[in-house]
Amino acid sequence: MADRQSKWNVSEMPDLTGRTAVVTGANSGIGLVAAGALAGAGAHVVFAVRDEERGREAAGTVRGSTEVRRLDLADLASVRDFAAGWEGPLDLLVNNAGVMMPPRGRTKDGFETQFGTNHLGHFALTNLLLPHVTDRVVTVASGAHRWPGAAIHFDDLNFDRRYNPQRAYAQSKLANLLFTLELQRRLAEAGSPVRAVAAHPGWAATNLQSHAGNPVTRAFMQLGNRLFAQDDRAGALPTLYAAVADVPGASYVGPDGFAELRGAPTLVGRSAAASDPAAARRLWTVSEELTGVGFPVGVAGA
């Protein structure tokens, strides 16, 4: 099994004809590659993007059935509008969009940009769409959840006292994993066959790294892109594997190479902090309070 996983590639995608997928942030990077692969396998793929013009340009490069809908994860009103406009079944939700180490900022609702976008926006979107989801939710996390000092700062989630872009990013990615853990627990408790799975791309050379506010950090990331990174096509493979392979709920997929920086997709481990069910429940409760969105009474298949 492990050997087969280590050799998995996009040619092993199953036929997805008749299935529908939403990919957030599908206009570039691994989101675009994942959306293209899903559409190429027969799925109807919705590009959920903040900039519809860029989304249409990106969708135009993909073969298969696609459409573009506006979604700004940094604005909960936009998230609610997107979900309210959804009709019919949704087989796959890929929570891919994110920001990485930008200068200090706030979402429209006043949350620290990375926590608000990477976690809270996807938290609200997932729970609002969950009554439609029939197969699985894939959330893109990061090896950054293991960075030194990575934690959920429950006493200062928005880094009001002192903003540190690296720690804020690590917090948001740790939150993605704890969200997946608690979402799967709730789905299982509800008797739903829907699975919550997480994935990370390793070190993939995309435009995500160009958003770092610190010029030294940007230079380091650019150097790392040249020396260590795999391209966005390889970086998208863990997401695609998590989306279509028969993996357990709450599992985590990443590259099989050294330090999980690059390689073919396989099941990987996570930090102790990302495996803490008490922290996952606490984060869920706080996220409900902050977004005003909770786990739905009815979920597909339950």
Rounded to whole angstroms, what are the CA distances from 218 to 101, 113, 228, 232, 297? 9, 18, 15, 18, 44
- 3-class secondary structure per residue, 204-227: ECCHHHHHCCCHHHHHHHHHHHHH
Kindly tell me if the per-residue pLDDT of 207 is higher than 80.
no
Per-residue pLDDT band for 6 (boundaries 50, 70, 90) equals very low
Average pLDDT over residues 151-173: 97
pLDDT > 70 in the chain, percent: 89
Question: What digits encode the pLDDT tens for the residues 212-261?
Answer: 555 655 554 555 545 556 899 999 999 999 999 999 999 999 999 999 99
pLDDT of residue 206: 59
Residues noted as catalytic: 169
Per-residue pLDDT band for 158 (boundaries 50, 70, 90) equals very high
Average pLDDT over residues 49-76: 98
CATH superfamily of 2-288: NAD(P)-binding Rossmann-like Domain (3.40.50.720)
pLDDT of residue 299: 75
Query: What are the structural domain ranges in the chain?
Result: 2-288
Q: Choose between 211 and 241: higher pLDDT.
A: 241
Per-residue pLDDT band for 297 (boundaries 50, 70, 90) equals confident
d(CA 178, CA 97): 17
d(CA 125, CA 129): 6
Exposed/middle/buried for 90, CB within 10 Å: 0-12, 13-18, 19+?
A: buried
pLDDT of residue 7: 78
Which of 63-72, 84-93, 198-207, 221-230 shows the lowest mean pLDDT across its residues?
A: 221-230
Which of 68-77, 134-143, 174-183, 217-226 shows the lowest mean pLDDT across its residues?
A: 217-226
Kindly tell me if the per-residue pLDDT of 1 is higher than 50.
no
- 257's tokens: 């190479």
What integer best gives the mean pLDDT of the chain? 92
Q: pTM of the entire structure?
A: 0.91
Kindly tell me if the per-residue pLDDT of 180 is higher than 70.
yes
pLDDT of residue 178: 98
Smallest CA-to-CA distance from 56 within 38, 75, 32, 34 is with 32
pLDDT of residue 5: 42
